[in-house]
Chains A and B, each alone.
Chain A
Amino acid sequence: MMPLQVLGKLASDTAFKTRACERMIDLESNDGVVQMRLRSLMTDMGTEASLWLVPNFNQPHEKLFPFILPIADLDHGLHHCMLETVLGYDEVLWYTYEKQVSALAKLFSRRDVVNRFVKFQILDHPDIPAAAKESLASMFDKLCPSFVKHRWKYSFEVLHWLSSRQGFFKYLQPNILKSDHDSDMTRDECDAFKQLLSDDMQSARFWAMAHSELVLHTWGFEVSEWLHACPCHSKVERKKMKPPCVWNGRRLIEVSGGKMSAFHTNLLSLRLESNSSASKSISDLREKDSETASKIAIGFATAKQKVALWFKQATSYLETYPWNLVNVLSFLCAPSDVNCFKTSKAFASSLVQQYDAGLLRNMGQFSRFLDSANSLGQSMREWSSSDSPIMNAELYQELLGYGTALLCMQRLEAKHHLVAQRMSTARGSTPATISANLRRALNSDVHSDNFRENFPRYMFEFKKLVDLPWQSRAELARLISGYHLHTMFANVSVEQALIAQVTHERNAGAQANVQCLRDQVAHMKTMLAEGDFYAMPVAVAPNGDTTYNVLQLLSLQPSLKKYMQRVLKVDDPWHQKLSVMLLGQVAVRDNTSDIMLVDNDSPLPLTMTEDFSFESVCYGQVELDPSIFFKFDFKHVYRFDTVDFTTSFVGLSDLEVDDSETALVDLKLQKHCYI
């Protein structure tokens, strides 16, 4: 644990934070040894992300941390992904549902309300058998968790609590509220809650929305749980471990081998129909209000695609070079058999081949793993070409150095929260005090005999800590924890200029056609809506036959988000692109009319007929150039009015697979309007 650094409100740009970080490290080690041994730097996508690329101020052609793998916190990434679900659903439906969840959570997180509900609706209920009353009442021993709408895990916990007690809520009466307006609820929440109790259709809508959301949230929870676990212990073993396994959260080896892609595939395979609770609640709603049931089914599918897009943006870089170098150690996390080495060697071999073909260059110090002129590169080549299970120790240690990187910073976030709490309540606590307390809590050095033996000597060596002059220990503490800003960093203009120069070099060449793209995107923003389904012409044959792309628009500017490829400006698949779900292509033919020719003798696209409909069973997310919409001057772009999702279960007995079923999703689009 390193000391806190406190920066003034106006001194929190990259230069100040870099200097503060340098100071943290210099306090802990001599001669920049930590900078050279640092193998990963994890931050969220805030200002600190700039430190991945920041130059060494003394040698601007080199990086401050030359050997690091940049890692974006996956907790933050997942948080942003899960918040995308709100954008998938119909706005009115969503906000009504959200108020109802909030109202229920507020009510059932209070012991007095829960006790009243248990007494009147369970213990005193004449229809519930006496033998079952106690066990049913015990389900309410645990109160409903708090609902914080901007924190998806809170939302998941509330939904999980509510859905597992769904059967009881049919007994809920308006008199659960002590008065017309509950003091904890807002007026809107109170109204939405009363509607939920009095209107069967509202209740059906609520549960359909809740179960639909829970399907996505359960997926998110599984990902989060996996990320925070270790590769070496089972769930049962982990619960018993004290202290927790040090490998918790260190899953880069498996992630670089494709685990996030597997989760992505799992997400895309989620179906409301394959979840019994969601399926039942949608069916119940369809009987009462088929239009809303369809809206929720479409909302679920759209939300799923939006989450999938963000998830890919947040995690795909981890499976690319240089992050995937550690996948050479995949045998550590695979069953111990001969194949685990074969897989590792085959992967190492493919990396070497790519490098020799001129790829995988320009990634700084990582070429040392593949270049034949380097000892690590030689060892990698030896590993990839031999049958021996022996890996060179230097290569092994270097790879494991990267492979042990954490992927989530929940632990640090918790400390941050602690600091915030302490600073707000204990006015006497200085950052230095809190920092020292945290260090003592986290590190066992003060308990070691070695520390105790050397302690008297350290008491006389405080001058070694900082080069600047200080008169009292209080002043020394301020210098260490940083809030002596003007003394430490009176002028960072040189550093700011260096950072700006590096940034400018990285951005050079990326400005071509920007104005044209902006105009196109601005036009599309006024004409198209994210989440809607469109048909647009992509090609016209000489005889006039027109090929239309049928697609769902997921994001007009996916590159507005912050993700690793964008920050590093390498292989960014979303740069200046649209993200769409491509549902298929359809050819429109019209043999009866004459072909219309424009000035340059190329035929115009044929228009679609009024009763056009399209059915898709196969689709996938792709990135398209915005100019594709303007190929025919943005004409002949159609929006589909009616969209429906149906799931057919088809037995595979013909394929000699017993007791198996597969789900095919048919997307039916009917009607259209001309834009």
Chain B
Amino acid sequence: MLYAREFYFSGDHQWFCHLRLDSSPQFAKNYLLGELDKVSFPGSIRSDLADTYLLVKDKLLFFGKSKSELQLGMFVDRVDLKSYGKSSVANISA
């Protein structure tokens, strides 16, 4: 938890999260279980490229470090419509 506070859920990089909550009463107690998914954008937004980010279908790249963390790759260069294809994936910001 301390590690999570410091690195996973700190406020110093771009990420969003999704929470799922469920509970069930058992043995006179109510077990409330939560799961948090983190979606992070690993590429920092550079000012000169701030308006040129784009991500296209089947070119999403994932390098989730764990099952509960989803990291999205993204293009960092201006993308020409005609150039969509697997070769474009080279421009992935890690």
Interface residues of A (CB under 8 A from B): 1-9, 11-12, 17, 20-21, 24, 27-31, 33-34, 37-44, 46-48, 51, 73, 231-232, 243, 245-247, 331-336, 338, 340-341, 389-394, 396-397, 400-402, 404-406, 409, 411-413, 415-416, 419-420, 423-424, 431, 442-445, 448, 450-451, 454, 458, 461, 464-465, 480, 482-483
Contacts and interface: CB of A to CB of B under 8 A. Distances in A.
5 contacts: A8-B29, A34-B17, A396-B54, A420-B26, A450-B7
Interface in B12-62: 14-37, 39, 41, 45, 49-58, 60, 62
Contact of B66 (A17, A40, A416, A442): A442
Contacts, number: 226
A2 B35 contact: yes
A338 B81 contact: yes
Contact of A48 (B21, B36, B54): B21
B1 interface: yes
B30 A2 contact: no
A461 B68 CA distance: 25
A42 B19 contact: yes
A415 B28 CA distance: 19
Nearest to A48: B21
Contacts of A243: 67
Given A332-B56, A442-B67, A416 B20 contact: no
A5 B31 CA distance: 6
B10 interface: yes
B53 A28 contact: no
B56 to A, nearest CB: 6
Nearest to A415: B33
A600 B68 CA distance: 70
Contacts of A73: 20
Contacts of B45: 393-394
A405 B24 contact: no
Nearest to A396: B53
B68 to A, nearest CB: 5
A39 to B, nearest CB: 5
Nearest to A11: B30
B4 interface: yes
B29 A7 contact: yes
A37 to B, nearest CB: 5
A444 B32 contact: no
Contacts of A42: 18-21
Contacts of B36: 1-2, 28, 34
B29 A483 contact: yes
Contact of B79 (A2, A44, A389): A389
Contacts of A451: 3
A633 B4 CA distance: 66
Contacts of A27: 1
Contacts of B55: 332, 396, 400
B4 A445 contact: yes
A332 B79 CA distance: 14
B11 to A, nearest CB: 4
A319 to B, nearest CB: 20
A46 B21 CA distance: 10
A416 B32 CA distance: 9
Contacts of A423: 26-27, 31
Interface of B: 1-11, 14-37, 39, 41, 45, 49-58, 60, 62, 64-70, 72, 78-79, 81, 84
Contacts of A406: 18, 20, 37
Contact of A17 (B16, B32, B67): B32
Contact of B32 (A5, A334, A404, A405): A5
Nearest to A419: B31
B18 A404 contact: yes
B24 A416 contact: yes
Contacts of A232: 57-58, 60
A33 B60 contact: no
A453 to B, nearest CB: 10
B5 A28 contact: yes
B18 A405 contact: yes
B22 A416 contact: yes
Contacts of B8: 28, 445
Contacts of A483: 29
A12 B27 contact: no
Contact of A38 (B5, B14, B17, B62): B17
B33 A416 contact: yes
B21 A424 contact: no
A404 B24 contact: no
Given A38-B18, A40-B19, A334-B57, 11 more contacts: A6-B29, A8-B28, A9-B30, A17-B23, A21-B34, A28-B4, A231-B57, A245-B62, A338-B81, A394-B50, A458-B3
Contacts of B70: 246-247, 404
Contacts of A443: 66, 68-69
Nearest to A334: B57
Which A-B residue pairs are the 6 nearest by beta carbons? A401-B16, A29-B9, A393-B53, A7-B30, A12-B30, A5-B32
Given A40-B18, A42-B20, A431 B35 contact: no
A390 B56 contact: no
Given A33-B11, A38-B18, A451-B3, A444 B27 contact: no
A246 B57 contact: no
B68 A44 contact: no
Nearest to A401: B16
B62 to A, nearest CB: 5
A17 B32 CA distance: 8
A334 B84 CA distance: 13
Given A389-B79, A401-B39, A415-B33, A28 B23 contact: no
Given A27-B1, A39-B18, A431-B31, A390 B54 contact: yes
A416 B31 contact: yes
Contacts of A405: 18
Contacts of A413: 22
A454 B3 contact: yes
A619 B9 CA distance: 52
B66 A20 contact: no
Contacts of B22: 43-44, 46, 48, 409, 412-413, 416
B35 A415 contact: yes
B34 to A, nearest CB: 4
A390 B28 CA distance: 56
B67 to A, nearest CB: 6
A400 B53 contact: no
